[in-house]
Structure 1
């Protein structure tokens, strides 16, 4: 009988048992993944289409899954950017071999609790960046000893950083940027001795210092804390970070001197300290930073001269703008072989620039504007043919433009205005192939514009006013089909204006005033559909005014005064909505068209001796022939009799309409095709026709004789509303120039000495506020109607913010200013407080600063009340309140909320105090029934959509503006076909 070797039996058995264990393990992972997909997340885009049962029970080939080939176990789940919805899927952590879980850039919502994290203590990487998480940061259990990467950035976490965040022994990356964290940066974060990357940027922390304990993080390579309300000085301990490569403390309120210890950052490659209150001179220790390539100290209060040692460093990008530096630039700066960007603007530097600047490096960006530099521009700026931008305006540069720049084929952007540059511009400079912006006004250049300019096919802006250019303006300008702005005023150009200039279809501004142009105004102007400004004044032009100018849809600035223009004023010009209008000092004749026969236009018509008007003084009255006078006398006699008979009735009517005072309407403007008589409108403004009353006036329902019904707003008069004129102008200026299906149409406006009225399309179902809060109407608003209203209003606001140039901020978004037509489609209305975001004296750093808080209580964004800064995000917050109003059916300041509570706080607390649950097959918040308006009686599908809209509303009402989505993004989120799944 043969005896078996025990080893021969034992080893195969062990291997078989091991394989069986692996099969069991991977099958368990397979079951967990399927369970989580079906119960905890929603995949609207089908990115997890291959997560389906298979006969092998093996998920290792599924999308986003990585397995260990030896252990046959899932070690990584990466679903970043898949667009999945739901709460935090903690079920994934039941896979005990899982090391990395990345769910970044999705729509993960709700809170992140300690309980949901309790299963995940074996993770080495957890990334939930760029989701919709809210509430406080969770306390991490002590078991998280293996965690190396924690990324919770770009969410809406609020409150303090918990103590447990200082107890991660292995943590190398901590990223909490772009949240709503409001405590101070805690000192215990200095205990994370293994950190290499530390990011706390863009949080509304309570003002406080950068803790000195930061110096304990000696392995740190990236310290990123801009826009975090840092105050005080930069701690001396910063010099301990000998491995640091990137230091960014920009856009805070740090003050005091830059510490000498900064020279200890011997590995640092980039230092960003711009946008603080740092003062004093630069420390000499900067010269020790041999690896430094980018240094940005702009927007501080630094003083003194630029030290030779720092100028001699091999820095690639040097930004010192907006400080108080003075003195000359050291010659050693020109010897730097790595210098590619030099920005010194808004200082008090003086003297000449180093002659060899640019000869030894690949200089790309050069900005020395607003200083006191003299002498010539360095001739080697484009020596390496890499220069893209020259910005040197507001200095005292003199001499010729360097001829070497005519060979600078890389040059795209030039601003050298307001200097003392002279001579002729090199011929080839005009035609640089990549040039798109050229501004040279306010110098002493002479000569002509070369025909070679036709080669600058990308040129969109040409500003050369205020020089001594002469000769004929070249026809080759007409080949620049990207040209948007052309300003050549205050020169000595002569000859005809090129007739082909009307072929420039993108042209918006054309200014050629104060030259010697002669001939006629080009007549074929129909292609100028984008032209807003035309100024040809003070030239030697002749001929007639082209009637086609009156058909230009957006022209609002027309000045052709001070020429020798003849003929009659084309009646077509009266169709224009003009902010600036001047035909004075020409040779025009004939009768002034009725549209200009108003005192408002007198100064624009003077200096034309042969013009006549029956009403305007000092313009002479039009002469009548004897036959006309005879017939006029007969007609006048008849009219006198009729007038005497009707005058009493007329004045009684006027007295009833306006409290006993006659108010002549001296300007009537129509914006849509509508037939009406202003007197018929006025007579209908009686108490029985009132349909609404608000802060700016009363609204009346008026039935026109054409059968059309319109809504007429009569603004409050006199001392009752002293800013009536500004409200009137705002509505006219805003609604008169925009067209959108979700913005109410302005039909006409009338203004008089004491009266301002506006006519709008009539909305059958009134305002959303009335429909929501009137017992007689609210029953008509089921959820589908409310959702349609929400989307329509969002699309209207998105048009104002993103499609209007300049952008328009409504400033008073509320349910009463959203009107509903006969099919309950939304129209955004009431633009009395609207403002445009444009670069003028009213604007600072991208936002308008208002003289007072505008808007309605309960809808005003929290930052607006104390900063008076208007941005689009103010409207986004107000729209979020409207969304909550649609869901709850409650006013924003409903008394049922209790003291010191508004709808945002009430809904947020109700939503975040409860976890998500399955109820009757519907996923939602436990207390959603308490939040939702009971008048809707929503269905199962409605609840899913309501929850989605509520999450959008909470995003819109984030306390920190940077975390609110744009209105364009809001529209996308509302229209997404998404079901929010519950987390277990």
Structure 2
């Protein structure tokens, strides 16, 4: 193995000793983690010693302390070393000075910026201003001019050595920089001609390189910054979900092909993905809007780690440019909306399956409202957000609009006020639609509408019924039919009593109770008069099968 990239993974502890066994390692990147060095630990020295072909070592943005390893200056193959943004406090440049005569000192590019370096041993500092480098028959160059293309040392300028006015000025100009190009045009006037020539040549080369690489470098930097920002935001909430690599998910979804597409909504597309270990998952790519970034973080914080049979399980996430990607467990039978009204609903739903789905949603909501701390109000219960697994078990999904009930509002029935009315038209409770009041009753109301949809096989709002305006709104139509159904239900119960013993009267009684219970569930009067907003859900949970 010649290359290892474990950057941006939130790893902590020390460098794994197993890496020392990789003799052919050439490129190691452990940057943007939380790695440390135990007291007296010289694992970096050992790493450079053991990996005799190591050319690039990137350890920036960690928590390494102590002295900068002296092996950095004596390794035969090492070319690039980035130790910036750590806690190193001691630097010994004796070995670097010893390599001046054979020019080995100038073949390494070492970045030590943003380290609190206080103690610097620099035995050749007073000789640097008289140092001229001549290679390949070219005119000799002073050290700073030559360092533009050759090796360099960058300490930055915010450390004790660079702020000490007693140190040699030329030595400080060489090492107290954040870029190898800093101080380049500040040499003595006698060197201006050389500087101009080198500047023109380097400028042309850099311009060509910039045209090719600038966009890619900018994207790479921006990706790392965005990922780091999101990881920090999640870490502040003590949430650390698994992060998938974008290329891994792209391969798992067959390049996000139409064949793997499960559906598309207002907030993004969902794809079926098969991971390398053959696990099947659902990949949801959110549309790049500012609000979806908020919803993305909200969903991460609320449901990471929550495991319940009737709540969709989050497997991880991914960030790529402005894309925000969520990875969920896979639901073989898609969502309830497809089962009720989708183009592939040839199988239909029997009454046992419909009751099973109602019961599953109720159990999931009861868990969110009663068993979690803090409790969670979903705010967007609808058929599209109820997923169905291979056994037709319901799983509540999409927590982008969910709100946690904080301690000051921990009593059941406590009221929050939403500053942004989110959700789906037709499922809003009256107090939420008019005043933004958020309680468990909002989810209970939406659940009642959902039950009516399951019983009737109709959408809560169906604008295609223009020929029958009184049937457009399912809730209003159901209330009207409820009044008509009272007499019919009474007749059914009378027939049940009349025909007992002739056939299965229990089945008639059960179906009669289900219809009556489903109609009452969405009643404004019944919901509003209930002291405990969980009672309607609890009636479904405890209802005998």
How far residue 877 of structure 1 moved from its aligned partner, in angstroms, is 0.5
1:958 aligns with 2:529: no
Residues 686 and 791 of structure 1, relative CA distance in 2, 3 Å threshold: same
Residues 775 and 869 of structure 1, relative CA distance in 2, 3 Å threshold: same
Deviations 1:527-573 (A, max 9, x none): xxxxxxxxxxxxxxxxxxxxxxxxxxxxxxxxxxxxxxxxx96479x
1:711 aligns with 2:277: no
1:905 aligns with 2:471: no
Does structure 1 retain, via aligned residues, the 8 Å contact 2:415–2:439? yes
How far residue 904 of structure 1 moved from its aligned partner, in angstroms, is 1.3
Q: How does 1:88-167 map to 2 (within 5 A)?
A: none
Deviations 1:630-671 (A, max 9, x none): 45559999xxxxxxxxxxxxx9xx99xxx9999557257999
Q: What is the alpha-carbon distance in structure 1 between the residues aligned to residue 257 and residue 79 of structure 2?
A: 42
Output the TM-score relative to the length of structure 2. Answer: 0.54
Deviations 1:701-720 (A, max 9, x none): 11111111111111110xxx
Aligned to 1:879: 447
Give the gaps of 5 or more residues in structure 1: 1-567, 573-590, 598-609, 638-650, 925-938, 979-984
Aligned to 1:693: 264
Aligned to 1:615: 60
How far residue 878 of structure 1 moved from its aligned partner, in angstroms, is 0.3
Residues 841 and 954 of structure 1, relative CA distance in 2, 3 Å threshold: closer
Aligned to 2:344: 776
Residues 841 and 796 of structure 1, relative CA distance in 2, 3 Å threshold: closer
Give the gaps of 5 or more residues in structure 2: 1-10, 16-28, 36-41, 45-57, 83-106, 108-211, 498-503
Q: What is the alpha-carbon distance in structure 1 between the residues aligned to residue 448 and residue 78 of structure 2?
A: 64
Residues 616 and 752 of structure 1, relative CA distance in 2, 3 Å threshold: farther
Q: What is the alpha-carbon distance in structure 2 between the residues aligned to residue 571 and residue 952 of structure 1?
A: 61
Q: What is the alpha-carbon distance in structure 2 between the residues aligned to residue 678 and residue 621 of structure 1?
A: 36
1:976 aligns with 2:537: no
How far residue 863 of structure 1 moved from its aligned partner, in angstroms, is 2.0
Q: How does 1:238-637 map to 2 (within 5 A)?
A: 570=13, 595-596=33-34, 614-616=59-61, 623-624=68-69, 626=71, 629-630=75-76, 632-633=78-79
Bigger mean CA deviation after superposition, 910-919 or 621-630? 621-630
Does structure 2 retain, via aligned residues, the 8 Å contact 1:849–1:869? yes
How far residue 956 of structure 1 moved from its aligned partner, in angstroms, is 3.4
Residues 660 and 805 of structure 1, relative CA distance in 2, 3 Å threshold: closer
How far residue 765 of structure 1 moved from its aligned partner, in angstroms, is 0.5
Deviations 1:601-647 (A, max 9, x none): xxxxxxxxx9x98333998899455389445559999xxxxxxxxxx
Aligned to 1:857: 425
How far residue 861 of structure 1 moved from its aligned partner, in angstroms, is 1.1
What is the number of residues matched between the two proteins?
Answer: 346
Does structure 1 retain, via aligned residues, the 8 Å contact 2:13–2:34? no
Q: How does 1:745-784 map to 2 (within 5 A)?
A: 745-777=313-345, 779-784=347-352
Q: What is the alpha-carbon distance in structure 2 between the residues aligned to residue 704 and residue 617 of structure 1?
A: 31
Q: How does 1:22-37 map to 2 (within 5 A)?
A: none
Aligned to 1:870: 438
Aligned to 1:804: 372
Q: What is the alpha-carbon distance in structure 2 between the residues aligned to residue 675 and residue 821 of structure 1?
A: 24
* SS of alignment partner, residue 227 of structure 2: strand
Deviations 1:667-725 (A, max 9, x none): 579999989654211453524232112232211111111111111111110xxx33012
Where relative contact order (Cα < 8 A, 6+ residues apart) is larger, the structure is: 2
Residues 678 and 625 of structure 1, relative CA distance in 2, 3 Å threshold: farther
Does structure 2 retain, via aligned residues, the 8 Å contact 1:883–1:950? no
* SS of alignment partner, residue 776 of structure 1: coil
Output the TM-score relative to the length of structure 1. Answer: 0.31
1:729 aligns with 2:294: no
Aligned to 2:415: 847
Q: What is the alpha-carbon distance in structure 2 between the residues aligned to residue 570 and residue 968 of structure 1?
A: 50
Residues 853 and 569 of structure 1, relative CA distance in 2, 3 Å threshold: closer
How far residue 976 of structure 1 moved from its aligned partner, in angstroms, is 2.6
Aligned to 1:154: none
How far residue 971 of structure 1 moved from its aligned partner, in angstroms, is 3.3
* SS of alignment partner, residue 881 of structure 1: helix
Q: What is the alpha-carbon distance in structure 2 between the residues aligned to residue 877 and residue 622 of structure 1?
A: 64
Deviations 1:732-768 (A, max 9, x none): 1111142211100001022355221111001100001
Deviations 1:213-232 (A, max 9, x none): xxxxxxxxxxxxxxxxxxxx
Deviations 1:918-941 (A, max 9, x none): 4599669xxxxxxxxxxxxxx986
How far residue 847 of structure 1 moved from its aligned partner, in angstroms, is 1.4
Q: What is the alpha-carbon distance in structure 2 between the residues aligned to residue 779 and residue 969 of structure 1?
A: 30
Q: What is the alpha-carbon distance in structure 2 between the residues aligned to residue 769 and residue 571 of structure 1?
A: 50
How far residue 842 of structure 1 moved from its aligned partner, in angstroms, is 13
Q: What is the alpha-carbon distance in structure 2 between the residues aligned to residue 951 and residue 629 of structure 1?
A: 82
Q: What is the alpha-carbon distance in structure 2 between the residues aligned to residue 803 and residue 624 of structure 1?
A: 53
Residues 741 and 630 of structure 1, relative CA distance in 2, 3 Å threshold: farther
Deviations 1:882-906 (A, max 9, x none): 1111111111112448336411111
Aligned to 2:148: none
1:831 aligns with 2:399: yes
* SS of alignment partner, residue 308 of structure 2: coil
Q: 2:385 aligns with which of 814, 817, 828?
A: 817
Deviations 1:24-71 (A, max 9, x none): xxxxxxxxxxxxxxxxxxxxxxxxxxxxxxxxxxxxxxxxxxxxxxxx
Q: What is the alpha-carbon distance in structure 2 between the residues aligned to residue 958 and residue 878 of structure 1?
A: 12
Does structure 2 retain, via aligned residues, the 8 Å contact 1:842–1:848? no
Does structure 1 retain, via aligned residues, the 8 Å contact 2:33–2:62? no
1:666 aligns with 2:231: no
Does structure 2 retain, via aligned residues, the 8 Å contact 1:952–1:973? no
Deviations 1:435-491 (A, max 9, x none): xxxxxxxxxxxxxxxxxxxxxxxxxxxxxxxxxxxxxxxxxxxxxxxxxxxxxxxxx
How far residue 594 of structure 1 moved from its aligned partner, in angstroms, is 5.5
Q: What is the alpha-carbon distance in structure 1 between the residues aligned to residue 66 and residue 273 of structure 2?
A: 37
Q: What is the alpha-carbon distance in structure 2 between the residues aligned to residue 841 and residue 954 of structure 1?
A: 31
Q: What is the alpha-carbon distance in structure 2 between the residues aligned to residue 874 and residue 881 of structure 1?
A: 11
Larger helix proportion, structure 1 or 2? 2
* SS of alignment partner, residue 951 of structure 1: helix
Q: How does 1:622-661 map to 2 (within 5 A)?
A: 623-624=68-69, 626=71, 629-630=75-76, 632-633=78-79
Q: What is the alpha-carbon distance in structure 1 between the residues aligned to residue 262 and residue 474 of structure 2?
A: 28
Aligned to 2:514: 949
How far residue 864 of structure 1 moved from its aligned partner, in angstroms, is 1.2
* SS of alignment partner, residue 800 of structure 1: helix
Residues 771 and 843 of structure 1, relative CA distance in 2, 3 Å threshold: same
